[in-house]
Amino acid sequence: MRVTGTGHASMRIDTAAGSILCDPWVNPAYFASWFPFPDNSLLDWDTLGQVDYLYVSHLHRDHFDAAHLKRYVSKDATVLLPEFPTSEMEDELRALGFTKFLKAPNEQVVELDGGLKIMIQALTSPTDGPIGDSSLWVEYDGVRLLNQNDARPTDLSLFAELGHVHAHLLQFSGAIWYPMVYELPQAAKTAFGKQKRDRQFDRTWRYIDDLKADHVFPIAGPPCFLDDALWQFNDIHGDEGNIFPDQSVFLAEYAKVGGTNGIVLLPGSVAEVTTSGASTTHPVPVEEFFANKVAHLEEMRERKRPIIEAEKASWRHPEVDVLGEMKRRIEPLLDESIYLAKGVGGPVRFDLVGYDGESVESIVVDFPGKEVRPYADEKVRYRFRTERALIEHLLHIGEVDWVNSLFLSCRFSAARIGQYNEFVYAFFKCLSTERLQYAEGWYDEHERAVDAEDITLDGWVVQRRCPHLKADLSRFGIVEGDQLTCQLHGWKFDMPSGRCLTSVGHKIRAHRADADTPAPAGEALS
Ligand code: FES
């Protein structure tokens, strides 16, 4: 099996029974904030795009690059489609000209022509990607590969049960706006960033240990930031709180925990994976490439500047009445929302900075009051500050997912009272009736689900499944004193009270093993 690195989470898998192109991403994403790193725009995409199958793991714009798919990927390719709750991905791909779809039944092995086997695991909670993320397992001629991508299944046993895996490709770096955009003192930001960076690596080691593949390929990040306004997010400034470590840092950190089987794929690297080993060739020596990272980024920044400027010029739509449009689009959704609105539990304020860089219009999305209105000097749960032009653009194009556009762009700052609130972001990625209904239904189901099984962990009896996204705490739970940390996403719980210390709601059921009376059962929302 041949795996060609094509940048970020993208790869081309070649076997004698057919080829699969995964997640080709070249054009900048999220308001021209993210670019693939290392640069992959100079690859021979005309050739790479002539494939038998296309797999797009999910709709995040650093995985689903509509312009590139349209221009470069053969429309004769059969799309291997994850079983997502909405038809958005299929609809978008059909609109680009794809006509052949294989709807892979979730978590079932499918045999394609010539003995090529695949299995797709789709994750479908409202917090998984833009309503859905997925991983692809491939087997041909005894060689097995898992492209886990940036998906976060609770564990990898499903794949491990299919036989020993030879190549495991997974995310290790950051892909979020936290903590950089928060209006915090620099020392606090650095401390939070460092915690996050450590947690990302811990999670990666756990997945690697779960699967015990012969070879581990760090993929799906980091992106690079080429706009001058975002340049500081590149991990080139010696900031230990930077959440975007690159593949060379991965190798160094992996070595510290005893990892010796890591393989970095640059764009154009080719790995031949067999049951007995892997040999890899690179377009330039990997160490040399990373030694020259700053020069690579600076050269790329100059080359891409016109693209960024052209994108920026398209954002302003002064004809859009932002308050009126937000009211029109968001208020009906607030009316429909029970769980998300209750979960947010307070007003969320948007401070929109005008074209002059100074004037500010403050708009509140009032979740308890179910209305969008001017800010009225009140306390708010979250405050976001961004350019008015960005919101104008989102309203102009009818964007239904502000996470997959505004928030991932990192072109905003934020402040909040209290803990992280996942419902805020879940709501702003569900700005369509279809998405909102799905998310509401999902929370409803999980609210009702009785998770009765308990386990004993370091002297505590605790519910087996994490209140966040159901990770098995017998594998992911770490107890330190009275605190339990679920290592899948790093959420913390105070066990005596059951309180979640990371996010609103999500109480855990726990009591000391030697105590008679258990604490009251947890509630999903409080
Ligand atoms: S499943 Fe996310 S922190 Fe436990």
Question: Bridge partners of 171?
Answer: 219
Ligand 1 centroid, distance to 472 Cα (angstroms): 9
Query: How far is residue 432 from each of residues 13, 116, 307, 422, 437, measured CA to CA in Å?
Result: 35, 38, 30, 18, 8
Q: What is the mean pLDDT of the chain?
A: 93
369-376 contact pairs (CB < 8 A, 24+): 370/331, 370/334, 370/335, 370/341, 371/327, 371/331, 371/334, 372/323, 372/326, 372/327, 372/330, 372/331, 372/334, 373/323, 373/327, 374/323, 375/349
Which has the closest alpha carbon to 422: 437, 407, 441, 405?
407
> Rounded to an integer, what distance in angstroms lies between the CA atom of residue 3 and that of residue 12?
6
Counting from 1 in the atom list of ligand 1, the atom nearest the Cα of 466 is 4
Distance of CA 393 to the CA centre of its chain: 23
Counting from 1 in the atom list of ligand 1, the atom nearest the Cα of 476 is 4
Ligand 1 centroid, distance to 433 Cα (angstroms): 27
* pLDDT for 155: 86
Contacts of residue 202, defined as CB under 8 A and 6 or more positions apart, other chains included, come to: 487
Rg (CA), the chain: 23
**Model confidence at 526, in pLDDT bands (50, 70, 90)?**
very low
Lowest-pLDDT range of 25-29, 265-269, 373-377, 519-523: 519-523
Query: How far is residue 47 from each of residues 19, 71, 74, 407, measured CA to CA in Å?
Result: 12, 12, 10, 34
Q: Bigger pLDDT: 412 or 433?
A: 412
**Model confidence at 518, in pLDDT bands (50, 70, 90)?**
very low
Residue 521 has pLDDT above 70, yes or no: no
Ligand 1 centroid, distance to 235 Cα (angstroms): 27
* pLDDT for 476: 84
Q: Summarize pLDDT for 352-361 with one digit per residue, the tens.
A: 999 999 999 9
Ligand 1 pocket at CB < 6 A: 466, 468-469, 471, 486, 488-489, 491
Alpha-carbon torsion angle 75, 79, 84, 87, nearest 10: 30
Share of the chain above pLDDT 90, in %: 84
Q: Summarize pLDDT for 284-304 with one digit per residue, the tens.
A: 999 999 999 999 999 999 999
Read off the DSSP letter of residue 316.
Answer: -
Ligand 1 centroid, distance to 163 Cα (angstroms): 27
Ligand 1 centroid, distance to 159 Cα (angstroms): 20
Ligand 1 centroid, distance to 59 Cα (angstroms): 22
Task: Assess contact for 400 and 86: CB atoms under 8 A.
Answer: no
> Rounded to an integer, what distance in angstroms lies between the CA atom of residue 33 and that of residue 331?
29
Half-sphere exposure of 470 (CA within 13 A, CB side): 16
Read off the DSSP letter of residue 177.
Answer: -
Q: Bigger pLDDT: 516 or 278?
A: 278
Q: Per-residue pLDDT averaged across 360-381, rounded?
A: 97
Ligand 1 centroid, distance to 37 Cα (angstroms): 28
Residue 216 has pLDDT above 90, yes or no: yes
> Rounded to an integer, what distance in angstroms lies between the CA atom of residue 71 and that of residue 347?
43
Ligand 1 centroid, distance to 89 Cα (angstroms): 26
* pLDDT for 449: 63
* pLDDT for 434: 86
- Nearest-CA residue for ligand 1 atom 2 is 489
Q: Helix 322-336 to helix 433-448 angle, to the nearest 10 degrees? A: 40
Q: Per-residue pLDDT averaged across 412-418, rounded?
A: 93
Which has the closest alpha carbon to 21: 36, 39, 2, 41?
2
Counting from 1 in the atom list of ligand 1, the atom nearest the Cα of 490 is 3
Counting from 1 in the atom list of ligand 1, the atom nearest the Cα of 489 is 3
Q: Which of 488, 501, 502 to mutate to test the pocket of ligand 1 (most atoms within 8 A of CB)?
A: 488
**Model confidence at 451, in pLDDT bands (50, 70, 90)?**
low
* pLDDT for 487: 85
DSSP 17-81: TEEEEE----S-BTTTTEE-SS--TTS-HHHHT--SEEE---S-TTT--HHHHHHHS-TTSEEEE
Q: Summarize pLDDT for 87-145 with one digit per residue, the tens.
A: 899 999 999 999 999 999 999 999 999 999 999 999 998 888 788 999 999 999 999 99
- Identify residue 464 by its one-letter amino acid code: R
* Residue corresponding to tokens 């052949």: 100
Counting from 1 in the atom list of ligand 1, the atom nearest the Cα of 471 is 1
Q: Per-residue pLDDT averaged across 406-426, rounded?
A: 94
Q: Which of 155, 489, 500 to mutate to test the pocket of ligand 1 (most atoms within 8 A of CB)?
A: 489
Q: Which of 420, 463, 469, 478 to mutate to test the pocket of ligand 1 (most atoms within 8 A of CB)?
A: 469
